[in-house]
């Protein structure tokens, strides 16, 4: 199973957002190089042991989140701008990622949002500041909004055949 080192899961003064994904040894090596060059750590066996302990499996399985399905009634550019501002300016515990899909019809919007845990997601859902942000920044661009909350199950990814891999 591929591994992930994600700086977003470990708050730092630089608010680093780098994610490194690959085979375990590759990720540990790259994460150590990043920790030294960006975060000022010393590359020691202890650092590599700590990094290895923090790796996660590459899969959304087991994470909690939501899928929003809505009709776009405003500007997709403003919707995307609001989403980026939210991710850049709010320090939301457990938030991992969200994506915006605009369907071929140009009006249906689907947004999956991933959190590290259900508790962290529910904390955000109950936050009055989040409700105010949603009401002023997102809702003006959407109608017929439907939310589907739940736990992400098994993720299946494409794996190139051996014939397609370089020798």
Each residue's pLDDT tens digit, 57-111: 776 667 889 999 999 999 999 999 999 999 888 888 888 889 999 999 999 999 9
Q: Which of 32, 3, 30, 5 is nearest to 17 (CA)?
A: 5
Domain boundary among 21, 40, 57: 57
- 165 in a domain, yes or no? no
- Give 59 or 40, the one with higher predicted confidence: 40
Domain that holds residue 106: 64-151
CATH number of the domain bearing residue 147:
3.30.70.100
- pTM across the whole model: 0.63
Whether residue 70 sits in one domain with residue 14: no
- 158 in a domain, yes or no? no
Whether residue 90 sits in one domain with residue 19: no
- Give 87 or 11, the one with higher predicted confidence: 87
């Amino acid at each position: 199973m591929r591994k992930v080192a994600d700086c977003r899961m470990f708050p730092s003064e630089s608010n680093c957002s780098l994610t490194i994904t690959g085979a375990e040894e590759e990720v540990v090596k790259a994460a150590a190089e990043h920790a030294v060059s960006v975060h000022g750590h010393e590359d020691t066996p202890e650092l590599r042991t700590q990094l290895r302990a923090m790796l996660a499996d590459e899969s959304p399985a087991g994470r909690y989140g939501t899928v929003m399905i809505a009709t776009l009634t405003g500007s997709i550019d403003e919707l995307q701008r609001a989403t980026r501002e939210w991710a850049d300016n709010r320090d939301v515990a457990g938030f991992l990622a969200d994506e915006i899909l605009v369907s071929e019809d140009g009006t249906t919007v689907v947004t999956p949002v991933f959190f590290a845990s259900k508790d962290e997601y529910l904390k955000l859902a109950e936050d009055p500041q989040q409700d105010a942000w949603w009401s002023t920044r997102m809702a003006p661009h959407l109608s017929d909004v439907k939310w589907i909350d739940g736990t992400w199950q098994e993720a299946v990814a494409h794996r190139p055949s051996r014939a397609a891999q370089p020798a």
